[in-house]
Amino acid sequence: MADAEAVSKADAATPPKYSITAKDVSLWYGDFQALKNLTINIQQGIITGLIGPSGCGKTTLLRSFNRINERYGNVTTKGEITILGKNIYDEDVSLSELRKSVGMVFQRPNPLPISVYENVSFGLRVHSDRGELSRAKRDELVEEALREVQLWDAVKDNLRQKATGLTLEQQQKLCIARLLPLKPRVILMDEPCSALDAEGIEKVENLISSLRQKYTVVIVTHNMAQARRATDECIYMLLGEIIEHAPTSDLFLNPQKKETEMYIEGRYG
């Protein structure tokens, strides 16, 4: 974003309580209203889960945080979303800079059909001026990212191998690693384990858990067991509205809204 560096310096001195705030946010796809007057605060440095039945607006809300839903056309948004102290709908906001600060991981791993090394360094090439980074510095950032996602030991001897040859679990870790050299502050995850087997789910959940504190993570999941295991807070959504937002243990053990209780008990959705 236009003033991301200044905000980052201010945050270093006085870390804000919230990474993301939304105020009176509504969104339409054409004539269909997908989000209805949402107001929410998402804390910095924790994992927040978005849960609810299919079609409730979870993914639409997630995609609003880096405005990627605008790629689908015919989208109208009202209200305000503030990330890193900046309203992301201000006219001076650069979408490229926003998406560096707010990275996204999708349901199915989508590595580029190039080498492991080139996947991780891809964002650096796109967002850096030619010649700005030395090869040694690029190598350092690639290794740092792969170590952070617990993938370095598995791929360090095959960095020139095509990324599409990795297992699905490794590919999803690689997609997370691809974000990290750009130094994001927020990572959005849309059903990041839905394509994985039980072993892969456990490994990626462990990775997600390790990202808390350093990053603010927002994850969409339909898996209630995963929501309980992997999140610090949960937001239950229904028909484009936020029904309840609470610490995960409170929401599952002592829901305050009847709609939340019915969903958690499997009586709705």
CA dihedral 63, 235, 32, 100 (to 10 degrees): -10
Q: Which domain holds residue 58?
A: 45-63+94-264
Candidates 218, 227, 230, 232; CA nearest to 260 is: 227
- What is the C-alpha separation between 82 and 66, in angstroms, rounded? 11
CATH code, 233: 3.40.50.300
Looking at 108-236, list the stretches that DSSP marks H as alpha helix, in order from N- to C-terminal side. Answer: 116-127, 135-148, 152-155, 168-179, 198-211, 224-230
Q: What share of the chain is helix, strand, coil (3-state, %, to 5)?
A: 40, 25, 30
Is residue 215 in a domain?
A: yes
pLDDT on residue 7: 46
φ, ψ at 158 (rounded to 5°):
-135, 40
Is residue 186 in a domain?
A: yes
What are the tokens at 183?
Answer: 């130094």
Q: What is the amino acid identity at position 232?
A: D
Is residue 86 in a domain?
A: no
Span 124-138, mean pLDDT? 77
- pLDDT of 251 above 90: yes
- What is the C-alpha separation between 164 and 149, in angstroms, rounded? 17
The mean pLDDT of the chain is 91
pLDDT on residue 15: 56
Is there a contact between 187 and 212 (Cβ–Cβ < 8 Å)?
Answer: no
Is residue 236 in a domain?
A: yes
- What is the C-alpha separation between 266 and 269, in angstroms, rounded? 7
pLDDT on residue 191: 95
Span 237-248, mean pLDDT? 98
Q: Model-level pTM? A: 0.90
Is residue 10 in a domain?
A: no
Looking at the chain, list the stretches that DSSP marks H as alpha helix, in order from N- to C-terminal side. Answer: 4-13, 58-64, 95-101, 116-127, 135-148, 152-155, 168-179, 198-211, 224-230, 248-253, 258-264
- pLDDT of 261 above 70: yes
pLDDT on residue 10: 45
Banded model confidence at residue 5, pLDDT cuts 50, 70, 90: low
- Which tens digit of pLDDT belongs to each residue from 148-187? 999 999 999 999 999 999 999 999 999 999 999 999 999 9
- pLDDT of 24 above 80: yes
- pLDDT of 25 above 90: yes
CA 155 to each of CA 96, 115, 150, 173, 227: distance values in angstroms, whole numbers, following the listed order: 29, 11, 10, 11, 30
Is residue 4 in a domain?
A: no
Pair type for strands 18-29 and 216-220: unpaired
Is residue 50 in a domain?
A: yes
Is residue 77 in a domain?
A: no
DSSP 46: S
- pLDDT of 223 above 80: yes
Question: pLDDT over 70 for what percent of the chain?
Answer: 92
- pLDDT of 123 above 90: no
- What is the C-alpha separation between 268 and 254, in angstroms, rounded? 17
- pLDDT of 197 above 80: yes
Span 60-76, mean pLDDT? 93
> Which is more confidently placed, 108 or 13?
108
Domains identified in the chain, total number: 1
Which residues on neighbouring strands pair with residue 49, listed in sequence order? 219, 234
